[in-house]
Amino acid sequence: MNVFQITYTVLGGLGIFFYGMKIMSDSLQSAAGSIIRKIINSLTSNRLLAVSVGVVVTMIVQSSSVTTVMVIGFVNAGLMQLTQAIGVIFGANIGTTVTGWIISIKVGKYGLLLIGIGVFPALFSNNPKWTQIGKIFLGVGMIFLGLKTMSDAFKPLHSMPEFLDSISYFSGHHYGAYLASAVVGCVLTMIVQSSSAMLGITIAMAISGVIGFYTSVALVLGQNIGTTITAVLASIGGNVHAKRAARAHAFFNVFGVVVMLAIFPLYVQFIEWLIPGEANFINELGDRPNIAVHVATAHTIFNVTATLLFLPLINILAKFVVKITPDKEVKEQHHLVMLGNPTDMLPATALVQACNEIAKMKDIVHRMFDMSYEYAKNENSNGKHLAKISDYERITDNIQKEVTLFICQTMEKRLSFAQSSESQGIVRIADELESVADYLEKVVLRYSKFRENQKWQQGESKKEFFEYFFEIKKYFEEVIAPSDPEDPFDGTVFDRKSKELIVVAESIRHKYVDRISRGAYEPETVMTYSEMVASMSKIRGHSHNISQAIERIHDARSTN
């Protein structure tokens, strides 16, 4: 096998490995979407719980980078405190070691078997759950097959003196070789932006005998630093809180690697003592059958030990990154910031972020409702109040566009039926809330025309209008009131109330027209009054639509 054949075989094996990782990760995310959502919602200030969340989520998605980017997004959106984020990042470092253990299983032995088991339910099953299970098997099988392909491609390098000479320095047993290997592992991981892929390549090279145990472990340590580049890139454009979380991740990994390199020979000897069988043992085929488990063990012990050592120091690390990343002079507002392409995020976490943004939007519209009601009732209201109401309306426009774009980009990713239904419900709620804000602004603008009309100020129609306004406001508040996502949602209550409010609107409009015919009001006011009542009725309709969207989200979550 010449250099060209080795190159394209390694690249082909790497491509199979990458695709297998993607299939497995996407399938696990889809199958465990509700679990991830519950885990995220359970976050508290308890640092042990935060670490556990990081471990579990990373085990599910098989990528510490995905978990870390998720954390950066939550901190940026104000959904997670810095100390919580650091705890989750610690846990992600432990969770990612599971990938090493999956890879360390006898690489080529089960690849085709698992592909054969998984391909039929993945392609032909009509049951979504069986389809996802089949894809998980298919993905794991492709991971093994890709690693086997790469391992076989590396074997001819034994007989290439030029290659052996080029890596001879890295194979040395001295600190210069250890540091150089760590730097190479770091740089390559920064380029590839996948520590799992680099770990797979490292184990494949180690099994084929191209690199020894010392070099393998040093490369893995460097990969732990290189993987932090994903979080740093994700924090670009984010607020100061996101930058702090990313830097905490980087400092944690860098400091842990520096400490481990300081005692590197002792650490490697400890792994050799702990795991039966010599790591560098070569069998009759020229392979090193023991080294994969040794490398996976070294990876796991490093991350677990570093987490245990740093766990009591979370507050100190948080204070340190706050000091090196001070607040800006202008106080930043937490808001949803898309971290590059939202399709790179977990669908479950993207939906949680969007739901929290919707909660902010509900609060703004609720405040706008209160201010509009007070503006109309208070004769001393002035232009400043009206300007504030218009400002709220512009804010809702921006949030609606932001959430819709974010969800639409998220929906480009493979979603489960429940996640797709929830996404559509979120987009509809954002659109309906924005419409409510539009009509509230129209109501107060039209009401201002009645300021100079003395008959209106004393008439029964004003009283009826404000009673209707209050009922619509109460209806809206009941619709957006928080409810347990796991409890069933009864939309029939809001259906019935909506129909009652339609009748009320028709009644007060007819009464106003009747009073005009009797000379109680000027005829030219009928259009403005009717438009005000119609606008309130439109708000009723959009509130009713919100209740239907919320019911859809509840139904989707209950079936997930």
Nearest to 181 by CA among 224, 117, 134: 224
Quick check: 375 and 444 in contact, CB under 8 A? yes
* Residue count (the chain): 560
Report the predicted TM-score, pTM, of the whole model to 2 decimal places: 0.67
Nearest to 303 by CA among 532, 51, 540, 14: 51
Give residue-wise pLDDT tens across range 480-503: 887 665 666 778 889 999 999 999
How large is the angle between the packed helices 3-31 and 47-61, nearest 10 degrees?
Answer: 120
Q: Residue 506: pLDDT above 80?
A: yes
Task: Determine the pLDDT at residue 456.
Answer: 56
Percent of the chain whose predicted confidence (pLDDT) is above 70: 84
Percent of the chain whose predicted confidence (pLDDT) is above 90: 19
Task: Determine the pLDDT at residue 339.
Answer: 39
Confidence of residue 78 (pLDDT cuts 50, 70, 90): low
Domain with CATH 1.20.58.220 in the chain: 342-559
Mapped onto helix, strand or coil, the DSSP state of residue 276 is coil
Quick check: 333 and 123 in contact, CB under 8 A? no
Instruction: Quote the DSSP letter at residue 326.
Output: P
Task: Determine the pLDDT at residue 337.
Answer: 46
Farthest-apart Cα atoms in the chain, separation: 109
Within 10 angstroms of residue 476's Cβ, the number of other Cβ atoms is 24
* Among the ranges given (28-37, 110-119, 408-417, 467-476), the one the predictor scored with the smallest mean pLDDT: 28-37
Nearest to 377 by CA among 477, 453, 472, 457: 457
Confidence of residue 207 (pLDDT cuts 50, 70, 90): confident
Confidence of residue 450 (pLDDT cuts 50, 70, 90): low
Distance from the first to the final alpha carbon of the chain: 50
Q: What is the 3-state secondary structure (H, E, C) of 346-368?
A: CHHHHHHHHHHHHHHHHHHHHHH
Task: Determine the pLDDT at residue 347.
Answer: 77
Give residue-wise pLDDT tens across range 291-326: 888 999 999 999 999 888 888 888 888 889 888 888
Q: Any idea which residue has 């603008």 for tokens?
A: 445
- What is the mean pLDDT of the segment spanning 203-218? 86
Topology, domain 342-559 = Methane Monooxygenase Hydroxylase; Chain G, domain 1 (1.20.58)
Phi and psi based region of residue 209 (left: phi greater than 0; alpha: psi -120 to 50; beta: remaining): left
Quick check: 498 and 541 in contact, CB under 8 A? yes
Q: Which residue has the higher pLDDT, 336 or 286?
A: 286
Task: Determine the pLDDT at residue 455.
Answer: 55
Give residue-wise pLDDT tens across range 256-285: 999 999 999 999 999 999 988 888 887 777
Q: Across 42-56, 68-82, 314-328, 541-555, which has the greatest mean pLDDT? A: 541-555
Q: Residue 470: pLDDT above 80?
A: yes
Q: Residue 335: pLDDT above 50?
A: no
* Among the ranges given (67-71, 321-325, 390-394), the one the predictor scored with the smallest mean pLDDT: 67-71
Q: Residue 287: pLDDT above 50?
A: yes
Task: Determine the pLDDT at residue 543.
Answer: 93
Instruction: Quote the DSSP letter at residue 541.
Output: H
Distance between CA atoms of 515 and 163, rounded to whole angstroms? 98
Confidence of residue 336 (pLDDT cuts 50, 70, 90): very low
Nearest to 513 by CA among 457, 449, 464, 466: 464
Give residue-wise pLDDT tens across range 152-191: 787 777 667 666 676 767 777 888 988 999 999 899 888 8
Task: Annotate 172-188 with DSSP letters as a single string.
Answer: SSSHHHHHHHHHHHHHH
Task: Determine the pLDDT at residue 158.
Answer: 65
Task: Determine the pLDDT at residue 290.
Answer: 85
Task: Determine the pLDDT at residue 36.
Answer: 67
Task: Determine the pLDDT at residue 452.
Answer: 61
> Alpha carbon 466 to chain centroid distance?
43
Average pLDDT, the chain: 81
- What is the mean pLDDT of the segment spanning 542-551? 91
